[in-house]
């Protein structure tokens, strides 16, 4: 069983770079590709260090990867870096995937869109092939649009699938969504002899006809996965309260996930589709593993503690007590308490208390002007003239200036 997340590591500084079309010179593209491959390398190291073995690589890693403007032979120019990445994946037992975006529509009516979609799928397969990873590392795709005729749309997908190179067909997986429920996706997957991914959340929002339990659909999907495809994968997310039906949640609420997980008859690889990315993945992984190293959970508490402090002093104290080395570690209890704490809005007095604690990292190194600036901000905050965001922005600036990595690694400046 592996738990993973998609594309962005919030707990790691740095993001993938892009390149707009007008700036897409061969030299600029080469620079961005090199930087992105280095970022991916750091992401793989981060995931390995944190115990995350499932990861979706951003389609943007090669900017304009399937666009005619990108004439770079990046798979040759960066073959050494790509092989190094593939070696890391193999060495640490990682499983990676890619998920083309909404404009890759294999069943489109417009032939130009189909041609571009095929080119995009070829790009994704080439990237994974360049890593040297086998067919267990997949490309996940939605079936596409219904175009007022679902039967014809499914048939069009099947016809266009035959146009795909074998390298793409070997990696392609299809999943259900709000347009095609899991029963339709399964029928298509069986016809094409490719795996089907059950998106649990989309199934909840757009269920297939009948009264089948989600475990029944999981079992049917499992039959589409051959040994060469690897462990069956599913997608899991939750509804964000207060938003439109189908909106992915900010974070995975732990107890509903555990309730779902405990029903599973056998381990699966579970991709979390959630806005806080690796933070939810770590929450789930650490809660499921009774042998998780204590220091890993303590490190996470250190990254969260100022966020908790500005929301609930009671929770801050209670969670701190659970970190007592003389007590057994209960990661599930820690994360449930953390969720409860982060469910509170920051309170002015408590937010000021947290900011003062953070300021303590600078009071002995800050210059006189910086100290006066902080004093002025303190007065302004008490009067309601300076907001919490301004306080944190100034503290973040100081953290960068004085190299306070402990603060920069925390979630205090990242989450709100």
> Could you tell me if 309 and 353 are in contact, meaning their C-beta atoms sit under 8 angstroms apart?
yes
Positive or negative CA dihedral for 349, 354, 355, 361?
Answer: positive
User: What is the three-class DSSP state of 162?
Assistant: coil
Q: In a 10 Å sphere around its CB, with 0-12 CB exposed, 13-18 middle and 19+ buried, how is residue 55 labelled?
A: buried
| Tokens found for residue 150 | 């679902």
Write down the pLDDT at residue 313. 92
User: What is the three-class DSSP state of 271?
Assistant: strand
In sequence order, the β-bridge partners of residue 175 are: 142, 197
Q: What's the chain's average pLDDT?
A: 95
> Could you tell me if 278 and 11 are in contact, meaning their C-beta atoms sit under 8 angstroms apart?
yes
Positive or negative CA dihedral for 402, 403, 407, 412?
Answer: positive
Task: Enumerate domains of the chain plus CATH numbers.
Answer: 2-288 (3.20.20.150), 293-416 (no CATH)
Report the C-alpha gap between 105 and 118 in whole angstroms.
Answer: 9
Write down the pLDDT at residue 193. 98
Q: How far is CA 75 from CA 25, 58, 62, 128, in A?
A: 17, 16, 10, 10
Write down the pLDDT at residue 75. 97
pLDDT in tens, 6-34: 999 999 988 899 999 989 999 999 999 99
- Mind giving me the DSSP string for 163-209? TS-HHHHTTEEEE--SSS-HHHHHHHHHHHT--EEEEHHHHHHSPPS
Write down the pLDDT at residue 415. 81
Report the C-alpha gap between 340 and 350 in whole angstroms.
Answer: 16
pLDDT in tens, 101-118: 999 999 999 999 999 999
Regions in the chain scoring below 70 on pLDDT: none
């Amino acid at each position: 069983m592996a738990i993973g997340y998609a594309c962005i590591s919030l707990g790691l500084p740095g993001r993938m770079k892009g390149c707009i079309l007008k700036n897409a010179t061969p030299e600029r593209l080469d620079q961005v590709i090199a930087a992105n491959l280095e970022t991916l390398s750091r992401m793989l190291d981060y995931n390995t260090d944190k115990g995350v073995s499932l990861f979706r690589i951003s389609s943007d890693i090669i900017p304009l990867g399937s666009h005619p403007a990108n004439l770079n032979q990046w798979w040759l120019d960066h073959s050494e870096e790509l092989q190094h990445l593939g070696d890391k994946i193999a060495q640490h037992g990682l499983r990676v995937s890619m998920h083309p975006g909404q404009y890759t529509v294999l069943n489109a009516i417009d032939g130009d869109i189909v041609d571009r979609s095929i080119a995009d799928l070829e790009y994704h397969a080439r990237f994974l092939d360049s890593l040297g990873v086998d067919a267990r590392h997949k490309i996940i795709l939605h079936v596409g649009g219904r175009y007022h005729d679902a039967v014809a749309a499914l048939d069009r997908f099947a016809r266009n699938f035959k146009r795909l190179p074998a390298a793409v067909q070997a990696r392609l997986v299809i999943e259900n969504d709000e347009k095609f429920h899991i029963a339709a996706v399964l029928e298509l997957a069986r016809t094409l002899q490719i795996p089907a991914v059950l998106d649990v959340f989309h199934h909840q929002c757009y269920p297939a006809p009948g009264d089948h339990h989600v475990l029944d659909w999981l079992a049917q999907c499992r039959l589409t996965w051959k040994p060469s495809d690897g462990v069956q994968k599913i997608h899991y997310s939750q509804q964000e309260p207060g938003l439109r039906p189908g909106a992915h949640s900010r974070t995975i609420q732990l107890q509903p996930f555990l309730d779902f997980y405990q029903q599973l008859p056998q381990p699966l690889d579970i991709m979390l589709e959630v806005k806080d990315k690796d933070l939810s993945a770590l929450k789930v992984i650490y809660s499921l593993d009774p042998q998780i190293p204590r220091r890993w959970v303590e490190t996470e508490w250190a990254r969260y503690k100022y966020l908790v402090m500005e929301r609930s002093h009671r929770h801050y104290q209670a969670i701190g007590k659970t970190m007592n080395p003389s007590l057994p570690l209960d990661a599930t209890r820690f994360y449930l308490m953390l969720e409860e704490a982060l469910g509170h809005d920051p309170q002015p007095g408590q937010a000021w208390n947290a900011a003062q604690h953070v300021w303590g990292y600078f009071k002995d190194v800050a210059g006189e002007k910086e100290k006066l600036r902080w004093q002025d901000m303190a007065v302004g905050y008490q009067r309601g003239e300076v907001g919490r965001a301004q306080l944190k922005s100034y503290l973040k600036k100081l953290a960068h200036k004085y190299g306070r990595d402990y603060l920069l690694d925390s979630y205090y400046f990242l989450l709100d």
